Amino acid sequence: MPASLRDRLRFLGRLAANPSSVGAIAPSSARLARAMAAEADPSCGGPVLELGPGTGVVTQALIERGFAPERITAVEYDTRFADLLRTRFPAVAVVYGDAFDLVKVRSGERFAAIVSSLPLLNFPLAKRETLIEAALSRLLPGASYIQFSYGFGPPVVAPEGACVGLAARVWRNLPPARVWVYRHVENR
């Protein structure tokens, strides 16, 4: 059985077991993963934080974009996905935990990019806003918080001092998705 089919079956199994944490009917497509990775700049020094990596399609796209696996910390809430990521990407630091608790992730460190596949629209607005604000506070100057969403607008209005823009529409994803990029205004 091809790896992509195994990933889809694995994903459906995890979706059935915990729908609020998975939040999609299929893993992100390679096109969506590449569109997200394209918004992160590998020449910006520092670590990269990936939130909700699932089966690792965005992790792979970040590596293909030029990020050394050792620069990536991936925070995954599902233990089975976390184990799969550790097997597929042994040099990536995989953290089993809640991505909404950014304070505990590499405490005090700032990131060259934060790339999120979290199903934000499944969570209350206040929780989404808190995450975006926390993520923006952990970025290096000029760095971006990259989030995909199935919604027509950004999952959160940009907080004061930040902006959000549509970076890509990915029609060849199930369902079609949009890539949103948040930045500090002074870093534009």
pLDDT tens figures, 22-49: 555 567 899 999 999 999 999 999 999 9
Please give the average per-residue pLDDT across 111-135, as a whole number: 95
DSSP state at residue 70: G
Residue 23 within any structural domain of the chain: no
- Of residues 29 and 2, more confidence is placed in 29
Residue 20 within any structural domain of the chain: no
The sheet carrying 139-149 orders its strands as 93-96, 72-76, 48-51, 111-116, 139-149, 177-184, 162-170
pLDDT value, residue 105: 83
User: CATH no. for residue 105?
Assistant: 3.40.50.150
Residue 9 within any structural domain of the chain: no
**CA 91/CA 175 separation, integer angstroms:** 31
DSSP state at residue 35: H
- Of residues 105 and 160, more confidence is placed in 160
Residue 10 within any structural domain of the chain: no
Q: 93 phi and psi, to 5 degrees?
A: -80, 105
From 3-7, 29-33, 59-63, the region with the lowest mean pLDDT: 3-7
Residue 2 within any structural domain of the chain: no
Banded model confidence at residue 187, pLDDT cuts 50, 70, 90: very low
Element (H, E) at 23: none
Is the pTM above the cut of 0.75?
A: yes
Residue 62 within any structural domain of the chain: yes
Residue 8 within any structural domain of the chain: no
Residue 1 within any structural domain of the chain: no
pLDDT value, residue 16: 53
Banded model confidence at residue 6, pLDDT cuts 50, 70, 90: low
Beta strands in 30-172 (DSSP E): 48-51, 72-76, 93-96, 111-116, 139-149, 162-170
**CA 39/CA 134 separation, integer angstroms:** 19
Please report which residue ranges of 38-179 form alpha helices under DSSP H: 57-65, 79-88, 125-137
Please give the average per-residue pLDDT across 82-109, as a whole number: 92
pLDDT value, residue 157: 97
Number of domains comprising the chain: 1
Residues above pLDDT 90, as percent of the chain:
77
Please give the average per-residue pLDDT across 154-163, as a whole number: 96
Range of the domain at 183: 29-187
